[in-house]
Amino acid sequence: MFTPIYDITPAITRALMSIEADRQAVADLPIDVTVLAGLRETARLVSTHYSTQIEGNRLTQAQVKEAVAGARFPGRERDELEVRCHYRAIEETERLAAEGKSLTERQLRCLHGLVLTGQPKPTPYRDGQNVIRSSRTREIVYLPPEAKAVPGLVADLVKWTNQQLDMGELRVPLSAAWAHYQLATIHPYYDGNGRTARLLANLILHKAGYGLKGIYSLDEYYARNLAGYYEALAVGTSHNYHLGRAEADVIRFVTFFCEGMADAFAAVRAQAAKAAQRGAPDRTGQLRKLDPRERRLLELFRRHATVTTAEIAGHLGLAQRTVVGLCRTWLQTGFLELQNPSRKNRSYRLGKTFTFLVE
């Protein structure tokens, strides 16, 4: 599989700097756990609305919320099913990220299964050629790879994604952007490719510590800048995958993706700051005493009373061997306490003197 080499332009540099600043600011905010749960639910619904809207779903944002809760809209049954399925796929994405394990091809296929049917069953790849045509002229705008090439290409993408999550040769937003572009370019299914590609990008961000407490939505940026999104994806000198599209210069899409992340993160930072002022006591002083990894780990303990080494590694975006050493240090400082000391099922809880930070 082609490994991207990016020319980090000033626009990408500015976006990455903005993303990092906002990510750290949100991580430091002492948001009440109840308020945070509400913000997460809103983000899931917003992502569901805009990701399905990109594909032609006609439900409004208010109707999406009602449909997820079980409401019926006569004549819009397909739209109802689509948003319910996508909402379940977002939940599964968050669960996989928290699990902290390597991405598998089966997981990716199950995410697609959730997108199309709402069931976490792996879907088969397309068995024939599909063609993307202009809705206006009906001319071919993209010819994906042949069906026989799809399994190998997806397997390579999964392998590459895991290498990036483990070794981090590229900055995380760049890795997520490439994975999004590549899955959409492989186009392994007849339907649901765009939604699955966007979920994959979010899964990578969450796994690598860019989940932003689960309260952001990149899909809104794509939907509001839809022409730019499609133009950024339509790169390369040929509309044929095997004649240059696979190894095209994707700088335009990477720029679009990173600027979208920066836009979404900035909005979340402002929203989270207001939420923190409304609901939580001022714990800024105590938080400043923690290092960045410890502050990020508090978010995991807000969701779970006990966590495993693998879950910590997935949340922080680190290799498990690195986390083992960190946990040893945190046990010595009292930041962590052993919940289950067995080597096979070792788990941790937050130290007693720190539990007030997640209450």
266-279, pLDDT tens digit by residue? 988 887 777 766 65
Residue 45's pLDDT is: 93
48-91 pLDDT, tens digit each: 999 999 999 999 999 999 999 889 999 999 999 999 999 999 99
How does residue 258 score in pLDDT terms, banded at 50, 70 and 90?
very high
Give the per-residue pLDDT at 306: 87
For 140-188, what is each residue's pLDDT tens digit?
A: 778 889 999 999 999 999 999 999 999 877 899 999 999 999 999 999 9
Q: Do 38 and 274 touch, CB atoms closer than 8 A?
A: no
CATH class held by domain 284-358 = mainly alpha
pLDDT value for 133 = 78
Are 176 and 164 a contacting pair, CB within 8 Å?
no
Structure-token match 């986390």, residue found? 323
Strand partners, 308: 347
Radius of gyration, CA atoms only, the chain:
21
The DSSP code sequence of 121-173 is -PPPPPSS---EE-TTT--EEEBPPPGGGHHHHHHHHHHHHHHHHHH--S-HH
Tokens, residue 212: 């932003």
Band of pLDDT at residue 9, cut at 50, 70 and 90 = confident
Mean pLDDT of 17-36: 84
The CATH 1.10.10.10 domain(s) of the chain lie at 284-358
Per-residue pLDDT for 308 more than 70? yes
C-beta of residue 209 within 8 angstroms of C-beta of residue 315: yes
Q: How confident is the model at residue 3 (pLDDT cuts 50, 70, 90)?
A: low
pLDDT at 172: 93
CA distance 252 to 257: 9
pLDDT tens string 207-236:
999 988 888 889 999 999 999 998 888 866
Residues 95-139: tens digit of each pLDDT: 999 888 999 999 999 999 999 999 999 999 999 998 887 767 887
Provide the whole-model pTM.
Answer: 0.76
All CATH 1.10.3290.10 domain ranges in the chain, comma separated: 30-274
Give me the pLDDT at residue 287, please. Answer: 66
Mean pLDDT rounded to a whole number for the chain: 87
Q: Say if residue 239's pLDDT is above 70.
A: no
Looking at the chain, the whole-number percentage of residues with pLDDT higher than 90 is: 52
Pick the CATH number of 30-274 from 1.10.3290.10, 3.20.20.370, 2.70.40.10, 3.60.20.10: 1.10.3290.10
- Distance, in Å, from the CA atom of 276 to the CA atom of 119, rounded to the nearest integer, reads 36
User: At residue 241, does pLDDT exceed 80?
Assistant: no
Main-chain dihedrals φ then ψ at residue 259, nearest 5 degrees = -65, -35
User: Residue 283 has what pLDDT?
Assistant: 55
- Which of 31 and 200 is assigned the larger pLDDT? 200
d(CA 16, CA 265): 11
pLDDT, one tens digit per residue, over 271-303 is 777 776 665 454 555 666 788 888 888 888 887
